[in-house]
Chain A
């Protein structure tokens, strides 16, 4: 079956540091890939997505590139802020259109210290 593996947390960085959160996947088809962010006590918000190989999703300074050859979708940001502290989830949809639901990784808790 489909699965998503992302680095364990918590990840603690200082403000303005460079961020990488690794995400790899296994899928039977040709999935779309997502990063969602969850702030404390809230639901998930879509951060970015990519639907085909070599696509780069970007939003709010975050970027991730769909690498089919390495089955990866690593999240990066050049300079993090305290407000980026949250839990980040990598996810995929493998069915046609994703109507059957998403497969999530376990989440990575990011803590940014001033």
Chain B
């Protein structure tokens, strides 16, 4: 079955540590996205990538980094510079070539808690 997987589902981190969240898709989509979800604030865009080896900052990129070395993978690193990293992180993908470029498909999410 095609889809988006995120791992792990739950992640705990000590203050001052970097942590990497995984996102993999087998939908053959060119575009991938990372969003952060906080209670009562909806989703906010962290980073996005429209093609391999290229990515752009979203609205809240500070304290995060990404890479896009393969079409199917878009890992997100939460660095120690992120002041309030506890949140639910959602990865999504879309296929601009399909004519439905703006329809994004989401993974199940990773809940990060800083101890």
A residues with a Cβ closer than 8 A to B are 4, 32, 34, 36, 41-46, 49, 51, 89, 93, 97-102, 104-107
Partner of B45, one of A43, A46, A101, A107: A101
B66 an interface residue at 8 Å Cβ cutoff? Answer: no
How far is the CB of B28 from the nearest CB of chain A, in Å?
A: 16
- Given known pairs A43-B108, A100-B56, A101-B48, the reply for A93 and B42 (CB within 8 Å) is no
Known: A97-B101, A102-B43; 10 extra A-B contacts, CB below 8 A, are: A32-B102, A36-B106, A42-B109, A43-B6, A43-B108, A44-B106, A46-B103, A98-B104, A100-B48, A104-B35
**Chain B binding surface SS class:** strand
Question: Looking across the interface, which residue of chain B has its beta carbon closest to that of A92?
Answer: B102
Q: Contacts A97-B96, A98-B101, A100-B48 known; A43 to B42 CB distance under 8 Å?
A: no
Chain B, 71-115, contact with A by CB distance < 8 Å: what is the 0/1 string? 000000000000000000010101010000111111111000000
The answer on a CB contact under 8 Å between A98 and B102 is yes
Q: Cβ of B64 < 8 Å from any Cβ of A?
A: no
Please classify how large the interface on chain B is, using the bins under 10, 10 to 19, 20 to 34, 35 or more.
20 to 34
Select which of A44, A89, A99 is within 8 A of B96 by beta carbon: A99
Smallest CB separation, A37 vs chain B (Å):
11
Does chain A have a CB within 8 A of B40?
yes
- Can you list 19 contacts pairing A with B, beta carbon distance less than 8 Å? A41-B109, A42-B109, A43-B4, A43-B106, A43-B107, A43-B108, A44-B106, A46-B104, A49-B102, A51-B102, A97-B102, A98-B103, A99-B31, A100-B56, A101-B35, A101-B45, A102-B45, A104-B43, A106-B40
Taken residue by residue from 1 to 34, chain B's Cβ proximity to chain A (1 for < 8 Å, 0 otherwise) reads as 0001010000000000000000000000001010
Q: Is the CB of A45 within 8 A of B48?
A: no
Contacts of A104 in B (CB 8 A): 35, 42-44
Q: Which residues of A contact B94 (CB under 8 A)?
A: 98-99
